[in-house]
Structure 1
Amino acid sequence: MSPATAVAMVAAELVHQTALGFAVAFTPDKARVGRMRRITAAHLRLWRVPGPTAENIVLAVSELVANAIEHGCGDIELTVLYSCGEVRVEVTDGNPAPAKLTVADDEDVSGRGLFLVAVLAQDWGVSADGRSTWCVFGVPTRRS
């Protein structure tokens, strides 16, 4: 195969790797958690993300949005992108203090959200400015 043919094949493949996604900005209100879950679940169905993976992504959205409502400063933005076999969830809350993974005691009624995200997601982290928390999920390919 000539170098020109290889380049053309790579370029053609990149054209087919279109990202899907959405972003929603909203004011902090506990009622928004359920709404963001429903919006995310609807998009994941549209994108045909398999059930168990979609359920884990929706749970992560719920935890990250609830955390942003609890600890954020000002409006919140949820962004979900699906590209190249991965779904990336990012929640921006305006608070420069980065989200931190904690270990909750058995008696604690909260404090497990980021732990769940860390367990379910392929990877997670916080932006350099501390205002965004993100996680990534691998999406299994469909078998023929």
Structure 2
Amino acid sequence: MESQHLIFSVPGTAVAVAHARHRVVAGICGWGLPVGSSVVETVALVTSELLTNAVQHSGDGPISVAARLKGDTVRVEVSDSSPALPTLSLPTGDDEHGRGLFIVAALAIRHDVETTESGKRCWAEIPVQHEPTPHSPLHVPLPRR
């Protein structure tokens, strides 16, 4: 696949999360990724989780969102002005928050956080899986005895 990218800023508000998620989905679908595919749904969820973290922990400052398709990987980056790095902690069953980084870790092949001159950048990479079409046979190897 040809390298593609999308970069934009949103305000640090909860309303901006849904707007940015829709914008990223529209962008990656414009790159040829099929609407409703598991990779598009995964990118949407990862984008929401990274943005929600930024909104909750960085204040009202602007948040930068980037999505890049390079080879067989979509990379989502969310940058904000807070120097505080997110920490992975184990939420209890009663906690209403705290699962976002677990979701990102479960869905991404790689993820990390980097400090920047103006704050931090959280990123995750999602593989572009070639899903079988209704016309292609599904090959499932069986174990040998």
Same fold (TM over 0.5): yes
**Count, aligned residues:** 128
Q: CA deviation at 1:120?
A: 0.5
* The one of 36, 39, 47 aligned to 2:23: 39
Give the alignment's Cα RMSD to 1 decimal.
1.7
Partner of 1:135: 124
Query: Are 1:66 and 2:55 matched, yes or no?
Result: no
Q: Secondary structure at the match of 1:100?
A: coil
Cross-structure match for 1:124: 111
Give TM-score scaled by structure 1 length. 0.81
Name the CA shift for 1:142/1:113 in 2 (closer, same or farther; >3 Å): closer
- Inter-partner Cα distance in structure 1 for 2:20 and 2:105: 20
TM-superposition CA deviations, 1:8-64 (whole Å, max 9, x none): xxxxxxxxx642111111211110111111111111222232501110110000011
Deviation, 1:142, is 6.3
1:56-135 correspondence to structure 2 within 5 Å: 56-73=42-59, 74-129=61-116, 131-135=120-124
The percent identity for this pair of structures is 30
Counterpart of 1:24?
A: 8
Deviations 1:102-137 (A, max 9, x none): 211100011101110000111100014461100001
